[in-house]
Structure 1
Amino acid sequence: MRLAEIFERVVGPDAPIRFTAYDGSASGDPTSDVHLHVRTPVAVNYLAQSPNALGLTRAYVSGHLELEGDMYTALRRMADFVFAEGVNVSPRDLAAVVRSLGWVKFANRVAPPPQEVTRGRLAGLGWRHSKQRDAEAIHHHYDVSNAFYEMVLGPSMTYTCAVFDDADGALDRVGENDGALEGAQFRKYGLVAKKLGLEPGMRLLDVGCGWGGMVMHAAREHGVKVLGVTLSKEQADWAAKRIAQEGLSELAEVRHMDYRDVPDGGFDRISSIGLTEHIGSRNLDAYFSSLHDKLAPGGRLLNHCITRHRNDLRPMNTDGVINRYVFPDGELEGPGRIQSAMNDAGFEIRHQENLREHYALTLRHWGANLERNWDAAVAEVGEGTARVWRLYMAGCVLGFENNVVQLHQILGAKLDGTDARMPLRPDLG
């Protein structure tokens, strides 16, 4: 049995994509603008080892499976019959593949691509979310290459959800290098500053500060004295240079430092933009208690993070594609779990907002930037890593569009006696 026949049995004869294989077989819609091509038997080996999204990812990242056409369109069309719990291949079909390839070739175990973080690689660094292991997990994803991130993220170097003012207009401009993304990232930082009520002379701590976007925004736009901390040395070095270039060194500082090592007390405001995803479910209570201790009475915390769409779901699969290729040891929680942890740490919850659609748009812009700079990106980080990013960002667009994941900003205040120092009806939109 040829591979195209197996493909047709699994997905049906009317699949809206074109399928071809190295054995010369073909199936699906021959006129489709999405073409899936199995280049070598190694792709089949990967799928035999992991007949699900992980096997497909390994085959694609390593180049043994090729996809021609728009990645987002391909994933959207294939979502119903490929990225489920597993590919539904019957024992009879499996036996046919074995006869076609030969048992030795079929059963041969192939090492994952080097872009994959295996369980053993992190296990030797201690328990999940120990300082050493967290540092390695952050290094894996954020120390890829500052030049690469500049290509994908654009001039703002902001790797968190932007805030768009017009969803339809923003979608129409995806792929155009017109500054729409930069404006939306500036608007996000402005929204965070507004919710925190930043005023000149305040002290702000930005935990997980990335390349210092919020640090510089708060200093430049609001006259706030800001300390940003990140576990990525490359981020810290880049931010330090940019802060100096912008003449903000008297107000802004970024340190290569674990947030847990920042001394307690003394900060008027804290922003946590995209860090909570790296904390771990078991550490949420300690995390928010730590941030509460770092605030002066009457201070505020704005927590901005990706969330799951429900609070009662089973614990996340921490051994899937995202954890192996993108965010090692990453964990997401429902918004209620985040809010409860903040509340139980002593914060009075004052505002909550879901920006799910905005993150889908942000990812579309990043994906368009990657495609525009594809050749340069491949030259900078290698084709395998570039493929990881192409696949991951397109998949995340679908996740946010389909309400698999969300993005919540939650504002908490540390009471000063009985006073939260908040306006009676603040405008936080």
Structure 2
Amino acid sequence: MAKSKMTVAEMIGLFLTPDAPVQVTAFDGSVFGQDQAPLHLEVKNSRAMYYITENPNDLGLARAYLQGDLDSPELLPGNPYQVLKELMGLKHFVKHPSKMELARAAAAVFSHGVRVPEPPAIEGPSLAKRLTEGIRPHTRRGDAATVSYHYDQSNDFYRLFLGSSMTYTCAVFEKEDDSLEDAQWHKLNMVLDKMHLNKGDRLLDVGCGWGSMEIAAARRGIHVIGVTLAEEQVEWAQNWIRQEGLQDLAEVRLMDYRDVPESGFDGICSIGMMEHVGYKQYPSYFKEMMDKLRPGGILLNHQITRTNSHDHKRAGGFIDRYIFPDGELASPAEIELAIQDTGFEVITQENLRQHYALTLKHWTENLQEHWGQAKPMVGEPKARLWGLYMAGARLNFELDNIQIHQFQCIKPDPETGTDTYPLRPWWDR
């Protein structure tokens, strides 16, 4: 940016105090901060500046990082957690430039021409574009498109960081040093226990993923139907079921949960699927679950939540374009209200926030360990994307910016009420 009257370092100085613990070196030769700073960032070209100027938020920064335009020597391959943590700490050194200073910075960038660089090739369409293509949020078509976008990646790529359980939801740890695999199987068995299911009972698993719940349930002699909208998950799950010889007990279908013709299930679990449903669809969703359960049957609803009811439900630009298009999160209170208003009795509600932070720690470390395989498998931008997403999620769980809750709910029996479960908790937490 040789023509500019303001260097990149000077622009950064508009937003950070001189003592901020970061050094930024830029393609124009300018430097902000000291060599001894704990965090070093490299702005490698002008495209990074256009990305950030166009979207001065998580979307602009993510685009620059995914393209390799913004980097750091402290970044661990596939695991940018520590760098994100250091960046989060810069909030204590933020300045608020005047409108005149902002206008001067924008003029310096655009003195080279008003450019809108193409976003990374792996970026999904905006909400506006999805609407013009007739993909409306939380309709059958919209749900199928957005779920496929996230989950129909390479199964082998997911296995690199999920491990042998192929379980893409929060594990439950008895001790911090438990292995990821032990913690995932513990979670699956805990969910089955919470639903009070026994040999011969019938289970519906909504959003079944790669089939780990089907395997866990069938090993207990439970008849289980899993449904998902991701074709690659169905293929993996069906193969796994055949390998285990559990075809008489377990089945996985490519199907919308609303199209499941069976009812009278003894239990229904929804583990990490509700983020796709949409807040306004909660009443109809829980009614669907109610209609598919027998009286006295238990629903186990496991989903990521906001920490309060004041925050916006929709995710930011980065999550919407790259991770969960149309994803929405509500607070535990809002979810429980929807459950109760449907007619369920909530037996317990459990916050597993710390467990998800630990789960994500394992996933990012696994991706880091297998980085050499991940890059050629899906390409470096997409491998970077998953590391960025998981590291950012870990940090947000640790900081209590988001949580994850399990709601254990029983469908009342019109004859006996809900006097069908033991007086005290019967499952091993």
TM-score, normalised to structure 2, is: 0.92
CA distance in 2, matches of 1:288, 1:406: 21
Residues 395, 155 of structure 1: alpha-carbon distance in 2 compared, 3 angstrom cutoff:
same
Q: Is residue 201 of structure 2 the alignment partner of residue 192 of structure 1?
A: no
CA distance in 1, matches of 2:109, 2:343: 62
Corresponding residue for 1:355?
Answer: 352
Corresponding residue for 1:58?
Answer: 63
Corresponding residue for 2:232?
Answer: 234
Secondary structure at the aligned position of 1:350 is classed as strand
Residues 4 and 19 of structure 1 are in contact (CA less than 8 Å); yes or no, is this contact kept in structure 2?
A: yes
Question: Could you report, residue by residue, the CA deviation over 1:374-395 in whole angstroms, capped at 9, with x for unpaired residues?
Answer: 1211111111111111111111
Secondary structure at the aligned position of 2:368 is classed as helix
Q: What's the C-alpha RMSD, in Å, of the aligned pairs?
A: 2.0
Question: Could you report, residue by residue, the CA deviation over 1:335-360 in whole angstroms, capped at 9, with x for unpaired residues?
Answer: 11111111111211111110000000
Corresponding residue for 2:33?
Answer: 28
Q: Is residue 10 of structure 2 the alignment partner of residue 13 of structure 1?
A: no
Residues 264 and 293 of structure 1 are in contact (CA less than 8 Å); yes or no, is this contact kept in structure 2?
A: no
Residues 53 and 83 of structure 1 are in contact (CA less than 8 Å); yes or no, is this contact kept in structure 2?
A: no
Residues 43 and 59 of structure 1 are in contact (CA less than 8 Å); yes or no, is this contact kept in structure 2?
A: yes
What amino acid is aligned across from residue 144 of structure 1 in structure 2? Q
What amino acid is aligned across from residue 240 of structure 2 in structure 1? R
What amino acid is aligned across from residue 268 of structure 2 in structure 1? I
Q: Is residue 118 of structure 2 the alignment partner of residue 111 of structure 1?
A: yes
Residues 17 and 95 of structure 2 are in contact (CA less than 8 Å); yes or no, is this contact kept in structure 1?
A: no
CA distance in 2, matches of 1:208, 1:98: 45
Percent identical across equivalent pairs?
Answer: 46
Q: Using the TM superposition, give the Cα deviation of residue 98 of structure 1 relative to its aligned residue in structure 2, in angstroms.
A: 5.4
Corresponding residue for 2:81?
Answer: 72
Residues 76 and 398 of structure 1 are in contact (CA less than 8 Å); yes or no, is this contact kept in structure 2?
A: yes
Residues 314 and 329 of structure 2 are in contact (CA less than 8 Å); yes or no, is this contact kept in structure 1?
A: no
Q: Using the TM superposition, give the Cα deviation of residue 282 of structure 1 relative to its aligned residue in structure 2, in angstroms.
A: 0.5
Corresponding residue for 1:40?
Answer: 45
Q: Using the TM superposition, give the Cα deviation of residue 120 of structure 1 relative to its aligned residue in structure 2, in angstroms.
A: 4.0
Residues 224, 79 of structure 1: alpha-carbon distance in 2 compared, 3 angstrom cutoff:
same
Residues 140, 217 of structure 1: alpha-carbon distance in 2 compared, 3 angstrom cutoff:
same
CA distance in 2, matches of 1:13, 1:87: 10
Question: Could you report, residue by residue, the CA deviation over 1:137-194 in whole angstroms, capped at 9, with x for unpaired residues?
Answer: 0111101110110101111100000001123x35xxxxxxxxx000100110111011
Residues 264 and 295 of structure 1 are in contact (CA less than 8 Å); yes or no, is this contact kept in structure 2?
A: no
Q: Using the TM superposition, give the Cα deviation of residue 317 of structure 1 relative to its aligned residue in structure 2, in angstroms.
A: 3.8
Secondary structure at the aligned position of 2:170 is classed as coil
- For structure 2, which runs of at least 5 residues remain unmatched after alignment? 1-5
Q: Using the TM superposition, give the Cα deviation of residue 122 of structure 1 relative to its aligned residue in structure 2, in angstroms.
A: 2.1
What amino acid is aligned across from residue 186 of structure 1 in structure 2? W
Equivalent residue for 1:259, pick from 251, 257, 282: 257
CA distance in 2, matches of 1:139, 1:10: 39
Relative to structure 2, which stretch is displaced further, 228-237 or 408-417? 408-417
Q: Using the TM superposition, give the Cα deviation of residue 34 of structure 1 relative to its aligned residue in structure 2, in angstroms.
A: 3.2
Residues 133, 283 of structure 1: alpha-carbon distance in 2 compared, 3 angstrom cutoff:
same
Residues 286 and 342 of structure 2 are in contact (CA less than 8 Å); yes or no, is this contact kept in structure 1?
A: yes
Relative to structure 2, which stretch is displaced further, 54-63 or 39-48? 54-63
CA distance in 2, matches of 1:255, 1:275: 15
Q: Is residue 206 of structure 2 the alignment partner of residue 207 of structure 1?
A: yes
Corresponding residue for 1:174?
Answer: none
Corresponding residue for 2:161?
Answer: 152
What amino acid is aligned across from residue 18 of structure 1 in structure 2? Q
TM-score, normalised to structure 1, is: 0.92
Secondary structure at the aligned position of 1:150 is classed as helix
Residues 60 and 66 of structure 1 are in contact (CA less than 8 Å); yes or no, is this contact kept in structure 2?
A: yes
- For structure 1, which runs of at least 5 residues remain unmatched after alignment? 171-179
CA distance in 1, matches of 2:92, 2:27: 23
Residues 25, 211 of structure 1: alpha-carbon distance in 2 compared, 3 angstrom cutoff:
same
CA distance in 1, matches of 2:417, 2:84: 50
Residues 59, 87 of structure 1: alpha-carbon distance in 2 compared, 3 angstrom cutoff:
farther
Q: Is residue 392 of structure 2 the alignment partner of residue 395 of structure 1?
A: yes
Q: Using the TM superposition, give the Cα deviation of residue 295 of structure 1 relative to its aligned residue in structure 2, in angstroms.
A: 0.7
Q: Using the TM superposition, give the Cα deviation of residue 325 of structure 1 relative to its aligned residue in structure 2, in angstroms.
A: 1.1
Relative to structure 2, which stretch is displaced further, 289-298 or 315-324? 315-324
CA distance in 2, matches of 1:344, 1:91: 48
How many residues matched?
A: 415
Question: Could you report, residue by residue, the CA deviation over 1:368-423 in whole angstroms, capped at 9, with x for unpaired residues?
Answer: 01111112111111111111111111111111111111110010111222343201
Relative to structure 2, which stretch is displaced further, 48-57 or 284-293? 48-57
Q: Using the TM superposition, give the Cα deviation of residue 94 of structure 1 relative to its aligned residue in structure 2, in angstroms.
A: 4.2
What amino acid is aligned across from residue 113 of structure 1 in structure 2? P
Secondary structure at the aligned position of 2:121 is classed as coil
Residues 52 and 82 of structure 1 are in contact (CA less than 8 Å); yes or no, is this contact kept in structure 2?
A: no
Q: Using the TM superposition, give the Cα deviation of residue 64 of structure 1 relative to its aligned residue in structure 2, in angstroms.
A: 1.4
Question: Could you report, residue by residue, the CA deviation over 1:94-142 in whole angstroms, capped at 9, with x for unpaired residues?
Answer: 455456555234x311222222222244211332111111111011110
Equivalent residue for 1:269, pick from 267, 283, 297: 267
